[in-house]
Structure formats: structure tokens, C-alpha cells
Structure 1
Amino acid sequence: MNWSKAKTVLIITFAILNVLLYLTIAKINKPQPQLLSRQDLYSIEEVLLQNNIILKTTIPQETEPMPLVKVTREIFDESFILENFIKSQKYEKYKENRYTIFKFEDKTIKVDGISFYYFEKNDKFKDMSSSQKEEYVQNFINNYHFKEINVQVEKISQGKEVKIKYFQTYKDYFIDGGWMEGKIDDKSFEFSKSWFGSVVMEKAKKEVINAAYALLKLVEIKTDAKPMVVKEIKLGYYFNWSSATKGEAVPVWRITTQDGNRYYINAYTGNFEEGK
């Protein structure tokens, strides 16, 4: 094999890809957003493939200007626990780091003001079917007034475990940064929640970057040689302050991989917000 010739071909190939990438990014960052051509999209996919990033979804093309969203977290404090769960029962209370922990009967509750965690261990779960376990989760949510309207629901049943996840939405956009989840198996039931009790969209709107530019950020973020398979890229909101009670959620492109990892790219600036 002529290694010198092969090396030259590789250098030329990468040079062409770099030029195409530069032209594509320049087009993406024009003040007035434009639809990318098939050649642009092909060039982007080639660059991603060169970095072992495989697309298993289409790249969204059309976007609209988006505002920031003001969010305020739901509060879970001692009075909430005493009023809704313990009432007149005997209980033990102590602090552990930022959490206040309540123990009564075979139950444990942990709160830190903006998040709630409940754990119950009981033999009654042993003989429950999957549908009964799912019903138990739903009844718990309804009985303790945790039910929300603007949600997307994901149900996972694996072996003896049933898990139901709730994702917050607003005007057809996801709002990540909070969660609600019920999990039950043959031995125990767990429930956790951290939610935005107030969501208000601001008036001023700004243009957002093209999804293709967000995908190209993966080249910068990716640190290993393992294949990364992208199964979804979607526009929505993300609040990247886990301990804050309120603030502004920013528009983001959320990139979800086949192994369940999520990467958030700021849709205003193109900066990497967070990924896991």
C-alpha cells in the first residue's frame, strides 16, 4: 500500500470537510435563519461520522424565536410533611446534610425545601402484579396531591420493577431541570419530586441557533472514541440550577443518545449547558 498517497488523500479529505463545515456554520449564524441545503446536512453528517457520532434521527430545520421562561420551584418543607403525611402519628426527625428526614412506621421522607423523597418498605408489594403496582403509584400521586397536568409520561416495566417517570412541559416544550418519578418492586416503593410550580413565559423573543450547530458541539464535547448514537434532538427549555428556588430557564437543544444520556446546548449562544 502507498502510505504517502493515502496520507495525502486523508489530508485533502479533512481539508474539504473543514471548508464545508466553515461554510455551513457561517450560514447557520447569519442574522436571518435559513434552511440548510441537502449538501449542508450531508457535510454535517460526514463531520459527525468522522468523530464516531451517528445520527439515527432527522435534523430539525425550522425554528421560531423563543423567549426566556421564568420558573419557580414547588416548595416541600416540614409543614407540608406534617400536614399531608404524619398528621398525629409519632415520628423521628433529624438532619442529614441539607436534608430534613422524617421516619414513621415503615416509611421515610426526605426534603430539602425544593425536593421531596418518599420510601416505604412493606410485604404488601410482594404479591402485586405490574398493573397493580402501576395503580399504586398513580393512587399515591392522586391521594397526596402530586398530580400535574402538563406532563409527558414514560412507563418502564422490567422484571418485578415498575417505574413511571413524569416530565414537565409548557406550551408543547419540555422544561427539564425538575422531575417526578415513582418506582415500585416486590419489596419497596419510592417516590421523588422536584417540580416547577410556576412557569411564566417572558415577552421578549430571540432567534435560536440551528439544530445542526448544536449537533456539531458534540464533536467538541465528546472525549472518547466510543460510538455515540443520537436518537433525538429537540428544542425546549432547561433550568441548570439544581439548588435554586427560582430563575430563568433558557431555550436549549436537547440531544438524547441511544444509551439515555442527554446533552443540553444553549439555543441562544450555542454554549454547552450540561450533559450526562
Structure 2
Amino acid sequence: MDWSKAKTILIIAFIVTNIVLGYALFNSQRIDEPTLKEDFITDVAKLLKEKDITLNTAIPKEIPSLGIMTVEYEQRTPGDLNKSFFNNTAEGVTVNEGVVLFEKGKEKLIVTDGKNILYLNDDEEEKYPSLDKEEAIYISKKFLEEKGFSKDDMKLTFQKESNGVFFLEYSKVYNGIYIEKSYTNFQIDKRGVKRFERLWLNEEKLSENKIYISTAPKAILTLLTMENIYGKTIDDISLCYYFDPVKHKEVDEPEKTKQGKAVPAWRIQFSDGNEVILDEY
């Protein structure tokens, strides 16, 4: 007997058996999970409708799990930002503890704790007379490149035009999964970027051990208690890593937090751009 060949066959057989058992176990979990059954999901949709909450997306039907992620706020020094925004030609003034203001002409840059960035431009010159959505997105991406921000870890999750002003919101993503709460927001009109806000998170480490959380149909029942979202439309329901700085506060000052643990949660995106994170259920 060719033992080498026989062992190869046995190994392959074990692998196939494990795959089949794993598949069977996964499907049995799905079947046994009552909150993933069609009747339950239908009832959830009806309850939401009673509160005038419209579903414009499918409710995920998975048994959700993610690892715990260590995240850290993106930090840039005022000097670095002065160079990126003004080529080191703006004067910086310390307005308050941790707050630095740069001004040049009609432009302002406010940096708080090295992580909250607010840029304002009151220039009245129209540079983009035929501005549309596509051009506004292009302007935002060009602005990010010029100021030294990467576009590789973000996704445009909301866009709206109102009275000639385009509102764009980008969210942080890691391997296709959102990391909340962080944001990069723009207000752009025919004059260009009028307002830019950024508070960004960077992933540092991801635990291999996964945490299972409530299914989406069960989790979103929490929305029934939130009167402020009655009448809204849900556009997206996604798993995310959620970092709450209040839970990692330093001496009762959550704004001073630099890093912490992001846990699995459900991210609910509404058609008006607002979001709700469901992480306690």
C-alpha cells in the first residue's frame, strides 16, 4: 500500500468532513435563531412602520460577530497643519487650552487637541460656475490630497445639495467595515470648499477572538424607543466597530481621550445623513 497517498486521502477526507460539519452547524444556528426567521423580521418591519420609520434597505440575516479593535485618534500637530494648509504662512494663536487658531486672509483653521480639525473659507470668488455633484466630490478628494489626508480608508456615505451647497460626509472603513464614530465632512459651493471638518480614527490592533452580538432584527427594535427618529427612513444597516470616547475618558475629560477599544455594533444610517449606533443590547 502507498501510505503517502493514503495519508493524503485521509487528510483531504478530514478537511471535507470539517467543512461539511461547519456548514451544517452554521445553518442549524441560523434555523434555531428565532430572531432571524421571516415571521420575526416581518413583525419588526411592521412595528417600525407603526412609528413611521421606513425601511429602504434589507435587514441583515446573519449571526454577527467581530473582534475588538484598538483604535487611536489621528493626530496632527498645529505646525504640520499650518504647513499643509497655508505653507507655513499663517500666524497661529492659542485661543484656549489645546485650541490653536490659524488665520490667513479669509481662511481660518481651528485645531483642537491635535485631532479635531475645522477649516473655514469666506472667500466670495466663484471658481466653479457649473458645479454639480460629481465636481463637488472631485473637489473634496483633491482637497484631501493637497492637505495630506489619505482617501484609501474612507467611503462617501452621505451627499446632499441644498441651495447650491453640496454637503458630503465620508466615513472611516477598515476591510469594508465602518469604524465609528469618526468623520470627514465638507460643505462645497461654487466658491470651492467653504467648510471642512475632520475627526478620524486609525486602527491599531484587531483581536482574533470574535464577539457575537444581537442579530440586526433584534437590535433595531431599540429604535422603537427613540422618538427623535420617528418619521425617518433607514437607508443602511451595517456592522461596525464602535468607539465611544466617554467609556474611555481621562479624568472626566473624554475630549482628551487618544485611544481605546472599539466594539462590534450595528450602524443605522438614515436618509437625512444622521446615524444611530446600537451597541448596548
The alignment status of 1:166 with 2:170, answered yes or no, reads: yes
Amino acid at match of 2:130: S
Aligned to 1:72: 72
CA distance in 2 between partners of 1:135 and 1:43 (Å)? 43
Amino acid at match of 2:258: T
CA distance in 1 between partners of 2:274 and 2:128 (Å)? 34
Shift of residue 72, structure 1, vs aligned partner? 0.6
Aligned to 1:139: 142
Aligned to 2:221: 216
With 137-146 and 77-86 compared, the bigger mean Cα shift is at 77-86
With 137-146 and 94-103 compared, the bigger mean Cα shift is at 94-103
CA distance in 2 between partners of 1:218 and 1:98 (Å)? 37
Shift of residue 33, structure 1, vs aligned partner? 4.6
Distance verdict in 2 for CA 1:134–1:235, change over 3 Å: closer
CA distance in 1 between partners of 2:209 and 2:79 (Å)? 38
CA distance in 1 between partners of 2:136 and 2:232 (Å)? 35
TM-score normalized by the length of structure 1 = 0.73
Shift of residue 257, structure 1, vs aligned partner? 3.2
Stretches of structure 2 lacking an aligned partner (at least 5 in a row): 1-28, 246-253
Percent identical? 19
Shift of residue 250, structure 1, vs aligned partner? 1.5
The alignment status of 1:94 with 2:94, answered yes or no, reads: yes
Q: Is the 8 A contact 1:175 1:236 kept in 2?
A: yes
Aligned with 1:190 (options 182, 185, 195): 195
Aligned to 1:83: 83
Give 3-state SS (helix, strand or coil) of 2:39's partner.
helix
Distance verdict in 2 for CA 1:258–1:86, change over 3 Å: closer
Aligned to 2:118: 117
Shift of residue 52, structure 1, vs aligned partner? 4.1
Stretches of structure 1 lacking an aligned partner (at least 5 in a row): 1-28, 271-276
Q: Is the 8 A contact 1:35 1:62 kept in 2?
A: no
Distance verdict in 2 for CA 1:41–1:140, change over 3 Å: closer
Matches within 5 A, 1:1-276: 33=33, 36-89=36-89, 91-96=91-96, 98-112=98-112, 113-125=114-126, 128-130=129-131, 134-153=137-156, 154-187=158-191, 189-222=194-227, 226-241=230-245, 243=255, 244-266=257-279, 269-270=280-281
Distance verdict in 2 for CA 1:254–1:35, change over 3 Å: same
Shift of residue 98, structure 1, vs aligned partner? 4.8
Shift of residue 203, structure 1, vs aligned partner? 1.6
Q: Is the 8 A contact 2:72 2:202 kept in 1?
A: yes
Shift of residue 253, structure 1, vs aligned partner? 1.0
The size of the alignment, in residue pairs, is: 238
CA distance in 2 between partners of 1:254 and 1:109 (Å)? 31
Amino acid at match of 2:269: T
Aligned to 2:24: none
CA distance in 2 between partners of 1:230 and 1:205 (Å)? 27
Shift of residue 93, structure 1, vs aligned partner? 1.4
CA RMSD of aligned residues (A): 3.0
Q: Is the 8 A contact 1:156 1:162 kept in 2?
A: yes
With 240-249 and 174-183 compared, the bigger mean Cα shift is at 240-249
CA distance in 2 between partners of 1:213 and 1:123 (Å)? 50
Give 3-state SS (helix, strand or coil) of 2:84's partner.
helix
Task: Kindly provide the CA deviation profile for residues 59-90 of structure 1, in whole angstroms up to 9, marking residues without a partner as x.
Answer: 21113421111111111322223433344525
Q: Is the 8 A contact 2:64 2:214 kept in 1?
A: no
Compare the two structures and name the one with the higher helix fraction: 2
Give 3-state SS (helix, strand or coil) of 1:118's partner.
strand
CA distance in 2 between partners of 1:90 and 1:208 (Å)? 49
Amino acid at match of 2:273: G
CA distance in 1 between partners of 2:72 and 2:126 (Å)? 35
CA distance in 2 between partners of 1:217 and 1:172 (Å)? 25
Q: Is the 8 A contact 1:111 1:117 kept in 2?
A: yes
